[in-house]
Chain A
Amino acid sequence: MELHVALQKSFGAFSLDVSFTVRGERIGVFGPSGSGKSTLVSLLAGLQQPDNGIIRLDGELLYDSHDATNIPPEQRRIGIVFQHPYLFPHMSVKGNLLYGYKRSAPANRRIDFDSLVAVLQLDHLLSRGVHNLSGGEKQRVAIGRTVLSSPRLLLMDEPLSALDDTLKFQIIDYLKAASEAFRIPYLFISHSLLEMRIMADRVLAASAGRIEAQTTTEDLARSRMGLSPVGYINLLQLAHPRKVDGMSAYAWGGTELLISADGDHPESLFELSSKDIILIKQHPDAISARNLLDCTVSGTFRSGGKVGVELACGDGRLVAEVVQQAACELGIEIGSRLFAAIKASAFRRLG
């Protein structure tokens, strides 16, 4: 997918002025609320008119103020998943799911109804009305409805913001499953860096109506490490724990990580803050932290007065942060050997 956008739109004191070309399948638009992300979504989908500019998707002109090209929303094939599900209240779950499917040209239908229902686990809900669904079920139906319309581009406008944490990570799994199964390129809009890192590869950073940078999610996370109160969040996908003294031991980086969260799930995503990793130069005799990893420094970076230290431990990678003085005292440079001490309770399961 290639999207070229150069748009201006003003309302009152706020003005949106964006210009970017982005290629890829998993694109994020990251920025605080009020940065113009949702306006951008409306303009891309054709729900609002820009003051002037151009929108080109995969070489096709969707909007051009110079020659008055303005493809109406129903012909753009750009689907939206909003923060709230907005299901049609007068239709059943099946009626909602098929609304866009029935209106798509048969030649464009790439998604099979039954396989979508299976991926989003909606089969038992099909004949139900939409009023008695739970929040997560509603959002799954909304995602399915949009995906079934076979859009060329999917705009997800803060689709997880209205959900609590547990539900959020369930829906993330469904979103990932649907996007992997049906390969629809998407723009994932969010103010959450964590969601961005899970859902997107490339990121457009929005601020005050402008796109300030185009970067990778990894670089974005690193650049924000020193500014964020939670530091850099290491995301670890861990599986098949075994029980050890009331803790769970997960295979990682050629060794084992001891984590105090219970290990009922066969597979879990854990977060670990860069602030919760203590770096030591020599192996201590004894330490209360249950994880002492023998690491090699594979890279360093600066962020907001802090030094980010990229650690290689077997095939595992972690980012720790230290202040400048500590970096000097530890003699951190690429290739130097360090021990990383991490408490078992520092890991937090997501979802």
Chain B
Amino acid sequence: MTTFDERPATAAETEVFGQDTVDRARAIIARYPRSRSALLPMLHLVQSVQGHVSQAGIAFCAQQLDLSNAEVSAVATFYTMYKRKPCGEHLVSVCTNTLCAALGGDDIYAKLREHLGSDGKPLGHEETSGTPGEPGSITLEHAECLAACDLGPVLQVNYEYYDNQTASSALELVKALQSGQKPAPTRGAPLSDFRKVELQLAGFFEDNESDVDGPSAAAETVRGAKIANEKGWTAPREPDSVEFPALPEKK
């Protein structure tokens, strides 16, 4: 079980969230009729500053939203996208749900664990290779379905897709990330880093909205629709009224 870092929040840590973060927090709160609705983007916001949701981050959210620390902890510990330990420059998520796993996801994950591990010990789930936050540091996780089964096995770096991977292509990708390169994802926005993406998830694009505007559907995904379109295939029209089947006889 992963746990929060064990230290209580200090004044120095609360200072981590400087005026710009406070301003952003207020901007998030202003988006919702009720302030507590802002909690999810707020947690991404503190994660964009510290690379994880720390106790200071929880206290910060609670204070901004007038919630108790326990209420914020409840949400932060429920969702897996909120990390409890500082993350690396990049977050690599390997899909190990059934289809990807069968297609090679398990092999990819095993390979990356071995590569990123140290002292002969493979890297564990949500563990980081290198110093968290430093260039080239990588946090590895096995993820639940990433919603790209037709392109499996897939992995994501900072939630951007790398489709149709193999153990060796994934290894190359990770080595490139470690050396400071940012290989382009198969589709979607260009690769940045974990904290920048977290800021985007909080709803701040810093004039780079176009980054996330790129086409995200792969050719494979829309192939069926395309063929149907070419051939003029359509689904049968729904009838205007439907007869319910008769009630079963009472016994």
Q: Do A and B bind each other?
A: no
Which B residues contact A (CB, under 8 angstroms)? none
